[in-house]
């Protein structure tokens, strides 16, 4: 295991003056080793580190048994969704993250918190959850068809939706257009 730790430069910490001297000597000396010597571009290093970090993140995401609700909607990191989301304002980010995690004004969540008497959706077909809202609530069947292309969506297909589509569906349904959510 290699541990990297930031040490402020030009400080009189144990070993730091010696390492500064050796680093200066190494950077100013000629290359020793088999020729030809070819430098590695910084962009390649950055790309490899980013890939390693993403692989690590996706592996941890896959291996954990937590975040059941969110995993239903997100399989792995998606740069397009992330880029789209960070370009939006706080209200949109809050709404999307709330729906993705299931913690945004759904009666089931509010019932668990003791703020609703019943977890059931007002359609009477099931508990008011993100899955029910996005997949099968009959109140939003026409909006689902118009925005998402189907009257009903299978749970497994939720991961195929872009966050932009989810936002359009939320807007079309007006489900969260109430001041209590913002």
* DSSP helix/strand/coil, 125: coil
Which residues sit opposite 127 in a β-bridge?
Answer: 120
* Residue 23 falls inside a structural domain: no
* Residue 110 falls inside a structural domain: yes
**pLDDT tens digit sequence for 21-61:** 888 887 788 877 777 777 788 899 999 999 999 999 889 88
Residues 6+ positions from 97 with CB-CB distance below 8 Å: 104
**pLDDT tens digit sequence for 109-125:** 999 999 999 999 999 99
The residue segments making up the domain with residue 105 are 68-181
Is it true that the peptide bond before 36 is cis, omega within 30 degrees of 0? yes
User: What phi and psi values does residue 127 have, to the nearest 5 degrees?
Assistant: -70, 145
pTM over 0.75? The answer is no
Question: Are 71 and 98 spatial neighbours (Cβ–Cβ below 8 Å)?
Answer: no
Is residue 139 scored above 90 in pLDDT?
yes
* Residue 137 falls inside a structural domain: yes
The number of beta carbons lying within 10 Å of the beta carbon of residue 76 is: 11
**pLDDT tens digit sequence for 60-83:** 888 888 888 888 888 888 888 889
* Residue 44 falls inside a structural domain: no
Domains contained in the chain, number: 1
* Residue 145 falls inside a structural domain: yes
């Amino acid at each position: 295991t290699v541990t990297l730790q930031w040490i402020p430069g030009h400080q009189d910490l144990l070993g730091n003056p010696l390492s500064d001297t050796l680093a200066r000597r190494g950077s100013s000396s000629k290359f020793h080793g088999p020729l030809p010597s070819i430098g590695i571009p910084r962009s390649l290093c950055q790309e490899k580190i980013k890939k390693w970090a993403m692989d690590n993140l996706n592996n941890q995401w896959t291996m954990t048994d937590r975040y059941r609700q969110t995993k239903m909607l997100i399989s792995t990191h998606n740069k397009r969704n992330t880029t789209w989301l960070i370009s939006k304002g706080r209200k949109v980010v809050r709404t999307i993250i709330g729906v993705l995690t299931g913690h945004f004004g759904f009666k089931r969540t509010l019932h668990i918190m003791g703020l609703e008497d019943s977890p059931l959706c007002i359609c009477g077909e099931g508990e008011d959850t993100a899955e029910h809202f996005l997949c099968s609530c009959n109140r939003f069947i026409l909006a689902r068809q118009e925005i998402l292309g189907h009257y009903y969506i299978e749970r497994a297909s939720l991961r195929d939706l872009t966050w932009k589509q989810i936002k359009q569906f939320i807007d079309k349904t007006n489900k969260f257009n109430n001041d209590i959510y913002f």
